[in-house]
Amino acid sequence: MKPTLAQVCTLDAKFEDDVADYAAGKCQAIELWLGKLDAYLEGHAPDDVRRLLDEHEVTAPVASFQGGLLASQGERRKEHWQTFEKHLQLCQTLGIGTLVVAADVGGPLTQQDVERVTMSLAEAAKLAGRHNVRLALEFQARTAFINNLETAAAIVAETGSEHLGICLDAFHYHVGPSTPDDLAYLTSENLFHVQLCDLLGVAREFAVDADRVLPGEGDLRLAPLLARLTEIDYRGSVSIELMNPQIWRVPPLQFGEIAMTALRKLLGQASMD
């Protein structure tokens, strides 16, 4: 497993500071946040991103996230898919192998809507393959469809594309309808990315992204999840992903050092169990 920090954890910091300061905290892999990357590229070229990463000896194996692909229609769909293709081209240029796609499917749904979602996923995976990029489908705990690990695994299997897999986000796994038994659906072939966080002192029915804290500092039972990763010999990225506005104010150098210590401790314990 490859310890990785998600750039969204320090959303208020500059793109270049994230890279430099995470690297100073012994982080060798970053999950790029597309919003930050797009903003940085308004005044820079992709070559500048490559040079920045190379300078600090950091890789960018994953980018997050692409939304709006699955259930949008009309002009909105056209806009989302144009952005998606732009991001795929960017991932290919920068050597980013995996792009997280959000299952942001609202309701109520008809059977036609469900069919549109599955067809959109197949189309997205096909397009990603042309750019040598894998798509990691992130189920969303409170959406109308693909809100749990079992369904996400079934949709990925039904699509049957080597370019489509699962993004396992610990927040959505714990606060949504997924069950511990669902971990059995994870395999070394279908799991493309993992995002970790924790929750402290909040009932999962009321938990929101802003409640995320560092893994190991809260109440979530992460051990069974990590044990499954070890069991299937998962060798991909495991990132810390926090959307907590209080943590956003922490300087990236300080956050990087603390987060990498917590992540390495967690992954080290998992490998020893």
Domain of 96: which CATH number?
3.20.20.150
> Could you tell me the residue range of the domain that residue 246 belongs to?
2-272
Task: Say which amino acid occupies 148.
Answer: N
Mean pLDDT of 239-259: 96
Give alpha helix (H) positions in the chain: 15-24, 34-40, 46-55, 74-94, 111-130, 149-159, 170-175, 223-231, 245-248, 252-272
Residues 186, 111: Cα–Cα separation, whole Å: 27
Residues 76, 1: Cα–Cα separation, whole Å: 37
pLDDT of residue 272: 46
Mean pLDDT of 24-40: 96
Would you place residue 107 in the very low, low, confident or very high pLDDT band (cuts 50, 70, 90)?
confident
Q: Domain count for the chain, please give it.
A: 1
Residues 171, 141: Cα–Cα separation, whole Å: 8
Residues 17, 13: Cα–Cα separation, whole Å: 7
Residues 41, 15: Cα–Cα separation, whole Å: 10
Other CB atoms within a 10 A radius of the CB of residue 265 amount to: 12
What is the distance between the terminal CA atoms of the chain, rounded to a whole angstrom? 15
Mean pLDDT of 233-240: 97
From residue 231, give the alpha-carbon distance in Å to each of 7, 127, 152. Answer: 28, 32, 20
pLDDT > 70: what percent of the chain?
98
pLDDT surpasses 60 at 100: yes
Task: List CB contacts of 77: < 8 A, sequence separation 6 or more.
Answer: 68
Residues 65, 115: Cα–Cα separation, whole Å: 23
pLDDT surpasses 70 at 273: no
Check: pTM over 0.75? Answer yes or no.
Answer: yes
Would you place residue 268 in the very low, low, confident or very high pLDDT band (cuts 50, 70, 90)?
confident
